[in-house]
Amino acid sequence: MKSYHLALFLAGLAISLMLTFQFRITKDVARSPSVQQKQALVEQVNEARQKRDALKKQVSELRAQLDQIAAGQQLGPLKEELDKARIEAGLIAVAGPGVEVTLNDSNVVIQPGENPNLYVLHDEDVLNVLNELRAAGAEALAINGQRLLATSEIRCVGPTILTNKSYRLTPPFVISAIGNQDNMINALQMRGGIIEQLKFWGIQVAIRRVDNLTIPAYAGSIRFDYARPVPGTQPELATG
Question: pLDDT tens for residues 73-116?
Answer: 666 677 778 778 887 888 889 999 999 999 998 887 777 877 77
Q: So what's the pLDDT on residue 238?
A: 45
Residue 88 Cα to chain centre, angstroms: 18
pTM of the model as a whole: 0.64
Question: Across residues 175-196, what is the average pLDDT?
Answer: 95
- Whether 230 maps to a domain, the answer reads no
Bond before 172 cis per omega within 30 degrees:
yes
- Whether 233 maps to a domain, the answer reads no
Does pLDDT of 188 surpass 60?
yes
**What is the extent of the structural domain holding 136?**
94-215
Q: What distances in angstroms separate CA 11 from CA 1, 2, 6, 16, 22, one per listed residue?
A: 15, 14, 9, 9, 17
Which class for 219: exposed (0-12), middle (13-18), buried (19 or more C-beta within 10 A)?
exposed
- Whether 211 maps to a domain, the answer reads yes
Closest CA to 162 of 126, 112, 214: 126
- Total count of domains within the chain: 1
Q: So what's the pLDDT on residue 114?
A: 74
Q: Edge-to-edge strand order for the sheet containing 167-169? A: 155-157, 160-163, 167-169
Q: What's the pLDDT tens digit per position in 147-185?
A: 999 889 999 888 889 998 888 999 999 999 999 999 999
| 8 A C-beta contact, residue 121 and residue 129 | no
- Whether 188 maps to a domain, the answer reads yes
Q: What is the CATH classification number for the domain harbouring 193?
A: 3.30.70.1880
Q: So what's the pLDDT on residue 239?
A: 42
**For residue 169, what are the β-bridge partners?**
161
Of 143 and 13, more confident: 143
Of 73 and 129, more confident: 129
- Whether 131 maps to a domain, the answer reads yes
| 8 A C-beta contact, residue 110 and residue 116 | yes
Which class for 128: exposed (0-12), middle (13-18), buried (19 or more C-beta within 10 A)?
middle
Phi–psi pair at 122, nearest 5 degrees: -120, 165
Does pLDDT of 195 surpass 90?
yes
Closest CA to 168 of 146, 150, 147: 146
Among 4-13, 104-113, 170-179, 196-205, which stretch is predicted with the lowest mean pLDDT?
4-13
Beta strands 204-215 and 173-178 are: unpaired
| 8 A C-beta contact, residue 182 and residue 138 | no
Does pLDDT of 237 surpass 60?
no
If residue 174 lies in a helix (H) or strand (E), which one and from where to where?
A: strand 173-178
- Whether 167 maps to a domain, the answer reads yes
**For residue 175, what are the β-bridge partners?**
101, 143
Angle at 14 between CA 9 and CA 17, to 5 degrees: 125
Query: What whole-number distance in Å separates Cα of residue 184 and Cα of residue 187?
Result: 5
- Whether 109 maps to a domain, the answer reads yes
- Whether 130 maps to a domain, the answer reads yes
Phi–psi pair at 236, nearest 5 degrees: -80, 135
State in Å, rounded, how far the first CA of the chain is from the last one.
Answer: 108
Average pLDDT value over all residues in the chain:
81
